[in-house]
Chain A
Amino acid sequence: MPSNRPSADEHLDMHRRMVITRCVEERLGVLHKQGKTRGPIHRCDGQEAVGVGATMALEARDVVTTTHRGHAVYIGKGLDPRRVIAEIFGRVTGYGGGRAGHMLVGSVEHGMIGGNAIVGGSIPAATGMALSFQIRREDRVALAVFGDGAAQTGICHESMNIAALWRLPVIFLLENNDYGLTVHRSEQSSVADYTVRAAGYGMPGEAVDGNDVLAVYGAVAAAAQRARRGDGPTLIEARTYRVEGFSTSDMGGYQDPKEVALWKARDPIVVSRTQLAESIDPARVERLETAAEEETAAAFEAALADPLPEFEPHGPSAPYATAPVHADAADFGEGR
């Protein structure tokens, strides 16, 4: 069971995963500008500490559900960057074989189930997994990562009530990056401090600095212990910021550049580097960062060289197969 403070090695590993995530995001930005991506991409630059710190406070057997902005969660939960990148580029080697795309990555063996682009969808999803663990008497915890925008959905309220009512082993991690798409949280929420909502469900609520990977790790580790003890859910509000806009299709114009600059100065990777310098030789950290950059570059190279999938008609046992029809009778049921 992890303690609320990671070991030096664990911190180094979190740092490494944050750097990998950042490299992925930056490279995606470049490739998008070159017209080499498909569909919108939601980068999480500046929020890496939330996804990485939270997932690394869990055990491998625990599960996580996340949002359309899940890259840090994917990497934090131990998915192979090369296969994540492959999925982002619709390659056959991706976790969904190119079927899912970057918002919806799932890897059951890693407990990453999964990215969810219906805003709010990750919240009841984790709650249901927690119910399954409770019924099976399994020592497992479910983590729901969701945004400040998602906190306004009806299913958020409904999930929190049920989870607290049944003391489900679930952690509600509200990743507050100030915006739901282009709308500031002050135009979306009647309260500025989301943790006050926890009282309405009779569960603890805590705010943490979402740009401090140790703080996120500590809060999630404590919530996981609580959940494992049978004491039910916790609401954690990680305060952070999206420095690169909503997605690659964001036309901007709604964020105050001063605000962006302020948050850029609080870069979670820089914060973590400073913390590491207290006990670890900066040269070692630098080597680790270089290795992470090289690893990511190699992952891109490999993933981009992978083939695209070929369409194959599905068989009659596919869950979406409809009744067999005469081959000539219709054109919409190929391979029914």
Chain B
Amino acid sequence: MAMMRYAEALNTALREAMAADETVFVFGEDIATYGGVFKVTQGLREAFGDRVRDTPISEQTLAAMAVSASMTGTRPVLEIMYADFMPLTLDALVNQASIYNYIWNEQVTMPFVLRTQGGGGVGTAAQHAKSLDAFVAHIPGLKVVAPVTPADARGLLLAAIRDPHPVIILEHKLLYNTRGDVPDQAEPVEIGRARVVRPGADISLFATSRMVLEAEKAADVLAGEGVSAEVIDLRSLRPLDLDAIARSIAKTNHAVVVNEGWGFCGFAAELSATIMDYAFDDLDAPVQRVAALDMPIPYAQPLEERVIPDVARIVAAARRALD
């Protein structure tokens, strides 16, 4: 085990994948010479030459190129600097990447990875603070993962690069400097498996990305009130780990779902509906959703902190469920 920052863990995975497979290449804005604005790709240019490329600011084209390059013998890893720019890539994802394996009767696979980072909390304002998880998780044909720990950052990125199909990695700007133990061996983490962060008996808190850390804090608060909360990091937004979800609810009979994106038509809404579909009989109370308020992300701190979900709102939701 080695202690690593989340950004370093991603960097390690990229190095491992590039060293193991010459068809892996990495491209995106400011990723080569500068090493990425979050320093995830630092040193790769020096190590791998022109398989690491700075690009012009051309997200729509870059995404479409990742799709087509991956059909013709390479494994592109594209960095989109902010999740807020993902809408520019959506045509490539929804009208290109998601369809060809199916409509061409499985003649092609598209082993590309698109990494991006979202989330708010530090005053980056309405065009640089969103979580648009639902935009991509909505698309059949894409896998979507959101690692929270450095170990999962490395393992899921490795798995994503090896996957024969498109994978979107949702990182979070507030996670890059967090630290954690990472195994010594390059071990992929299976996509589609949730992680039990802490077991509990009274209520299940299902969360994604940085909200897992908020859910853990909420579990501490609840423990102080005599409530044993189970915290589950979904890790994979698509495919969802239905077994893990159902197993947890069978034990706790109560559920809170937490996602940093908007509530209406959001990822939390999907989770809630999925729980109704698969675990309704085990529920003692309606599922409680915690999500960003349905409005643009404001700049000023007192406004932004009300819009983005936090511990207090998760605790309140848990209390409502248990009431």
Q: Which residues of chain A have a CB within 8 Å of any CB of chain B?
A: 38-40, 90-91, 96, 98-101, 103-104, 116-120, 149-150, 152-154, 180-183, 187-189, 249, 251, 253-254, 308-311, 314, 318, 320-322, 328-334, 336
Chain B residues near A320 (CB-CB < 8 A): 294-296
Cβ-defined contact, A189 with B56, below 8 A: yes
Q: A39 is contacted by which of B61, B122, B317 (Cβ under 8 Å)? A: B122
Chain A residues near B306 (CB-CB < 8 A): 311, 334
B128 to chain A, nearest CB (A): 6
Cβ-defined contact, B124 with A39, below 8 A: yes
Cβ-defined contact, B34 with A183, below 8 A: yes
Q: Closest residue to B305 on the A side, CB-wise?
A: A311
Cβ-defined contact, B264 with A90, below 8 A: no
Chain A residues near B34 (CB-CB < 8 A): 181-183, 251, 253-254
Q: Does B127 contact A (CB under 8 A)?
A: yes
Chain B residues near A330 (CB-CB < 8 A): 263, 288-289
Q: B294 is contacted by which of A116, A149, A336 (Cβ under 8 Å)? A: A336
Chain A residues near B56 (CB-CB < 8 A): 149, 152, 180, 183, 188-189
Q: Does B187 contact A (CB under 8 A)?
A: no
Chain B residues near A119 (CB-CB < 8 A): 57
Q: Does B174 contact A (CB under 8 A)?
A: no
Cβ-defined contact, A180 with B317, below 8 A: no
- List B199-237 residues whose CB lies under 8 Å from chain A: none
Cβ-defined contact, A104 with B127, below 8 A: yes
Cβ-defined contact, A333 with B125, below 8 A: no
Binary contact track B106-129/A, C-beta < 8 Å → 1, others 0 = 000000000000000011111110
Cβ-defined contact, A117 with B125, below 8 A: yes
Cβ-defined contact, B303 with A334, below 8 A: no
Q: Closest residue to B53 on the A side, CB-wise?
A: A187
Q: Give 24 pairs: A residue, B residue, CB < 8 Å, sorted on A.
A: A38-B300, A90-B123, A90-B299, A99-B303, A101-B125, A101-B300, A104-B299, A117-B127, A118-B127, A119-B57, A150-B57, A152-B57, A153-B57, A180-B56, A181-B37, A182-B30, A183-B34, A249-B37, A311-B306, A322-B263, A331-B291, A332-B262, A333-B293, A336-B294
Cβ-defined contact, A118 with B288, below 8 A: no
A153 to chain B, nearest CB (A): 6
Q: Name the 7 nearest CB pairs between A and B, nearest first.
A: A332-B263, A90-B300, A101-B299, A39-B123, A98-B300, A152-B56, A38-B123
Q: Closest residue to B320 on the A side, CB-wise?
A: A328
Q: Closest residue to B291 on the A side, CB-wise?
A: A332
Chain A residues near B264 (CB-CB < 8 A): 322, 332-333
Given contacts A117-B128, A333-B263, contact A309 B300 (CB under 8 A): yes
Cβ-defined contact, A183 with B29, below 8 A: yes
Instruction: Please report whether the interface of chain A is mostly helix, strand, loop or mixed according to DSSP.
Output: loop
Cβ-defined contact, A322 with B58, below 8 A: no
Q: B58 is contacted by which of A39, A152, A321, A329 (Cβ under 8 Å)? A: A152
Chain B residues near A309 (CB-CB < 8 A): 300, 302-303
Cβ-defined contact, B299 with A99, below 8 A: yes
Instruction: Please report whether the interface of chain B is mostly helix, strand, loop or mixed according to DSSP.
Output: loop
For the complex, count residues of B whose C-beta is within 8 A of A.
47
- List B255-299 residues whose CB lies under 8 Å from chain A: 262-264, 266, 268, 286, 288-296, 298-299
Cβ-defined contact, B300 with A318, below 8 A: no
Per the bound structure, the CA–CA distance linking A328 and B317 in Å amounts to: 9
A99 to chain B, nearest CB (A): 5
Cβ-defined contact, B299 with A100, below 8 A: yes
Cβ-defined contact, B30 with A183, below 8 A: yes
Cβ-defined contact, A40 with B124, below 8 A: yes
Binary contact track B55-74/A, C-beta < 8 Å → 1, others 0 = 01110110000000000000
A116 to chain B, nearest CB (A): 8
Per the bound structure, the CA–CA distance linking A103 and B124 in Å amounts to: 9
Cβ-defined contact, B301 with A331, below 8 A: no
Q: Does B100 contact A (CB under 8 A)?
A: no
Q: A101-B123, A321-B294 are in contact. List 19 more A-B contacts (CB 8 A).
A: A38-B299, A38-B300, A39-B125, A90-B299, A104-B127, A118-B84, A153-B58, A153-B60, A181-B30, A182-B30, A182-B37, A188-B56, A254-B33, A308-B301, A308-B302, A331-B290, A332-B262, A333-B293, A336-B294
Given contacts A254-B34, A330-B263, contact A180 B299 (CB under 8 A): no
Per the bound structure, the CA–CA distance linking A91 and B301 in Å amounts to: 10
Cβ-defined contact, B293 with A332, below 8 A: yes
Binary contact track B241-267/A, C-beta < 8 Å → 1, others 0 = 000000000000000000000111010
Binary contact track B297-316/A, C-beta < 8 Å → 1, others 0 = 01111110010010001001
Per the bound structure, the CA–CA distance linking A333 and B37 in Å amounts to: 33
Chain B residues near A104 (CB-CB < 8 A): 125-127, 299
Q: Does B135 contact A (CB under 8 A)?
A: no
Cβ-defined contact, B54 with A183, below 8 A: yes
Given contacts A118-B84, A308-B301, A332-B291, contact A188 B286 (CB under 8 A): no
Q: Does B48 contact A (CB under 8 A)?
A: no
Chain A residues near B291 (CB-CB < 8 A): 331-332
Q: Closest residue to B81 on the A side, CB-wise?
A: A181
Given contacts A90-B301, A189-B56, contact A332 B289 (CB under 8 A): yes
Q: B299 is contacted by which of A96, A149, A152, A253 (Cβ under 8 Å)? A: A96
Chain B residues near A103 (CB-CB < 8 A): 125, 127
A208 to chain B, nearest CB (A): 23
B303 to chain A, nearest CB (A): 5
Chain A residues near B292 (CB-CB < 8 A): 332
* Most central of A98, A117, A182, A251 by chain B CB within 10 Å: A182
Chain B residues near A251 (CB-CB < 8 A): 34
